[in-house]
Amino acid sequence: MTTTTKPNAIRLSDDVLLSKLADVEQDAETSHSLEDDDNFIFTDVCIAGSGPIAATYASTIIAEHPTAKVLMVEIGSQDSLVAGEHHKNTIKFQKDIDSFVHVIKAALQPISVPPSDSYIPTLGGDAWAPKVNETLITEGHNPHQNPKTNLRASAVTRTVGGMATHWTCSCPVPDAEERKENPIENLDDLLDEAKTLLNVHSDQYDCSIRHTVVKEALLKAYPNRGITNLPLAVERRKDNPDYVTWTGTHRILEKALESDRFTLLTETRFTRLVLHQQKPGEISAAKIRDLRNNRDKYVLAKAFIVACGAVVDSIPHDPRFAERAEEHKKKYPNDPIPIPFNDPEPQIMIPYTKDFPWHVQVHRDAFSYGDIGPKADSRVIVDLRFFGKQDIVESNQVHFGQPPPTPADGWKPAVTDIYGMPQPTFEVVRYDGDAERDQRMMRDMTDVANVLGSFLPGSAPQFMEPGLALHITGTTRIGVDPKTSVADPNSKVHGIKNLWVGGNGCIPDSTACNPTRTSIAIALKGARSVVNSLPVDDTN
């Protein structure tokens, strides 16, 4: 009997793959010979990341270009049945929002942990511990990070949908002071378009007793602060209005997912970009790695996008709420609170102004409340979150290697994270203007809080860890001047023909309000720039 065997696939070395890539760069016809080589992937657009900004690029390009193929590369896995869906759409979390905090904590991976945080003083004597001057370099530990300049609570979410799988969905429009450095002339139009894309509404909680009572209390106390409903990327369900649907990346990506011109690769690392050897200022390929088998491939594309409680007693007597309160009392005669269990939470905003340069949200979300636990009824709790801003300082930076003592010494190799990518090191210092603004904001927070009720034990006003808001901006800022910005108003990187950036890092201003809507507005303009740069394939 004769048998035949199929040769094992050969995993080519990086040098061999780069050599083949160089041949393609020199001779376009060579690319045809590589189309059956599974070490290479051919597409029109390659996108790093799968969060809302990356999804904006993908969906816009698919919708507005007739033939372009888009490949999206995500280092995380798909953790929901629908790609990128908001995890808070689960009924469990809408019934018990406090339990969602554990989902958020599980989703966030720290970026840069300084050496001091790896020391465990209570460790048993027989356990292994780092020696003096030694530090861990796994799980985000960074021996180069100075604790004093770290954004201690900064973290990333590696999953299809990114942080949009657990974000608050707050979508305010930035104040004029929060956009004075933005070079995009039609930003208002793009913000309106972003509103539609994100399905933003401001009226989905008007049915809430709590929302109405809290809002009226604040309006009475602060009639000139512009208090209004918080714009949210959310819509109340028509089949059961007790619940809502929060916008996740799945909504933005919906049309792309339906197209045969869109491909999503999960658990795949976007390792690096390769500059074209024959054409300076142009990217020829992206090196990616399938983390399931550690196999490297090269993506050849025409365009690359790196987007890597005193207010309760009046309720039964208020004619607007009396019927619902009485109905609830009949069902639950022993409940001392006249608010139905299914009453939606409040969603209120005090906007940023010149006199009060911070953004305020009064609502309920997934947070911890000291040691009060189940002793507190969620219906009489509201969260006050005040978002401040920081002055723009050129010396504040993030880098991916150990900085040199002097410029002549050069940069030392970067520490890598658990995925083998260079780990960021922050150098962020706050100055007198930041401290003064923070103190004014804290005074305002206590004043506003006292209008509504008392603080829960263990939940007094406090400044949170730097970076906890996860709204880092300005790292890849857009602008006209290459000396002070990374990319132009179209988000195309200065000096590179076919590379665009996306995300909160593109925002050139110091902002207080949530940045997602602004970042999507910027990405919409960037995506159309990509569309205009791509030829139409007449062969299809």
Which residues does the annotation mark as catalytic? 471, 514
DSSP 8-state assignment for residue 356? S
> Token digits for 328?
């609830």
- Reduce the DSSP state of residue 270 to 3 states and report it: strand
- Could you count the other beta carbons within 10 Å of the beta carbon of residue 469? 17
- The CA distance from 249 to 168, in Å, is 13
Using the structure block, give the residue that is written with the tokens 């760069």. Answer: 25
Q: In this structure, how many other beta carbons lie within 10 angstroms of the beta carbon of residue 366?
A: 19
Q: Quickly count: other Cβ atoms within 10 Å of residue 530's Cβ.
A: 27
Instruction: Assess contact for 208 and 266: CB atoms under 8 A.
Output: no
- Return d(Cα 467, Cα 478) in angstroms, integer: 21
Query: Which residue carries 């809080």 as its tokens?
Result: 449
CB 259 within 8 A of CB 72: no
Which tokens sit at 409? Answer: 């010494």
Bridge partners of 347, per DSSP, are: 363
**Distance, CA of 325 to CA of 468 (rounded, Å):** 38
Q: Tokens 């593109």 label which residue?
A: 506
SS3 512: coil
